[in-house]
Amino acid sequence: MTSVHAWCVTATLAAVIMMGGPAAAWAGPGDDDTFERDRQAILAMTGDFTVRFDMRETVPFVNGYEPLEPKVSGGHEVVRVAEDTGRVIRLQHMLVVGGGMIVKHWRQDWEYEPASVLVYDRAGHWTLQDVPADGRTGRWAQTVWQTDDSPRYGGLGRWEYDGGVARWTSDETRRPLARRDAVRHPVYDHYIGTNRHAITPGGWVHEQDNAKRGMKDGVDTTFVHEVVLNTYTRSTAFDVASADRYWQATAAYWQQVREAWDREIAARRGVAVPEEAEMGSLTAERLMDLASRLVDGARTLASATDEARQIIAAAARGEALPAPVTARR
pLDDT tens digit string along 146-203? 999 999 999 999 999 999 999 999 999 999 999 999 999 999 999 999 999 999 999 9
211 alpha carbon, distance to own chain's centre: 19
- Beta carbons of 13 and 27 less than 8 angstroms apart: no
Name the residue type at position 40: Q
What pLDDT band is residue 141 in, cutting at 50, 70 and 90? very high
3-state secondary structure of 146: coil
**CA proximity to 38, closest of 171, 141, 154:** 141
3-state secondary structure of 115: coil
pLDDT(86) > 70: yes
Predicted TM-score (pTM) of this structure: 0.90
pLDDT confidence of residue 327: 54
Mean pLDDT score of the chain, rounded to an integer? Answer: 91
Strands 116-122 and 125-130: antiparallel
Name the residue type at position 89: I
* Angstrom distance (rounded) from CA 192 to CA 189: 10
- Beta carbons of 306 and 170 less than 8 angstroms apart: no
- How big is the chain by its Cα radius of gyration, in Å? 20
- Beta carbons of 275 and 151 less than 8 angstroms apart: no
What pLDDT band is residue 9 in, cutting at 50, 70 and 90? very low
In this structure, CATH architecture of domain 46-234: Beta Barrel (2.40)
CATH 2.40.128 domain locations along the chain: 46-234
50 alpha carbon, distance to own chain's centre: 17
pLDDT(326) > 80: no
188 alpha carbon, distance to own chain's centre: 22
Phi, psi dihedrals of residue 205, rounded to the nearest 5°: -130, 150
pLDDT confidence of residue 98: 85
3-state secondary structure of 256: helix
* Angstrom distance (rounded) from CA 270 to CA 263: 10
Give per-residue pLDDT as tens, 43-65: 999 999 999 999 999 999 999 99
pLDDT confidence of residue 100: 83
* Angstrom distance (rounded) from CA 329 to CA 322: 16
What pLDDT band is residue 325 in, cutting at 50, 70 and 90? confident
pLDDT(276) > 50: yes
Distances from the Cα of 235 to the Cαs of 18, 72, 103, 229, in angstroms? Answer: 12, 19, 18, 18
**CA proximity to 110, closest of 179, 43, 203, 64:** 43
Q: Is the dihedral of CA 157, 159, 162, 163 positive or negative?
A: positive
